[in-house]
Amino acid sequence: MWKIWLLLVAAIVAELIGTTSLKLSDGMSKLLPTASFVLTYALSFWLLSIVLKRMEVSVAYAVWAGAGTALMAVIGIVLFGESISPLKLVSIVLIVLGVIGLNLA
């Protein structure tokens, strides 16, 4: 089962790289970040499709989407200088707690 979780982590990392590349593509006007976005999103969905063969969709998708959302918010703050507020921090924590709750259910 740990191999499936490792694939899910790889899918999340690919999605994070893809979303970061999308931001850097400047509206898909820059070739390299645009190509990176397309390839890493394709990789992410391919890996997620493999994970879904062996894991419940409610858990796999929640982890993939929730972890991606929370981590992308942190990346936005750290790499792109996005604003940070108590509400944003609490919201990130709630996303993480929701993912943990689904895994425990």
Domain carrying residue 9: 2-104
What is the distance between the alpha carbons of residues 13 and 7, in angstroms, rounded to a whole number?
A: 10
Contact (Cβ atoms closer than 8 angstroms) between residue 51 and residue 7 = yes
Per-residue pLDDT, 104: 83
What is the distance between the alpha carbons of residues 77 and 90, in angstroms, rounded to a whole number?
A: 14
What is the distance between the alpha carbons of residues 105 and 11, in angstroms, rounded to a whole number?
A: 22
**Sorting pLDDT into bands at 50, 70 and 90, what band is 1?**
confident
**Above pLDDT 70, what percent of the chain?**
100
**Sorting pLDDT into bands at 50, 70 and 90, what band is 105?**
confident
Asked if pLDDT for residue 20 goes beyond 90, the answer is yes
pTM of the full structure: 0.92
Q: How many structural domains comprise the chain?
A: 1
**Above pLDDT 90, what percent of the chain?**
89
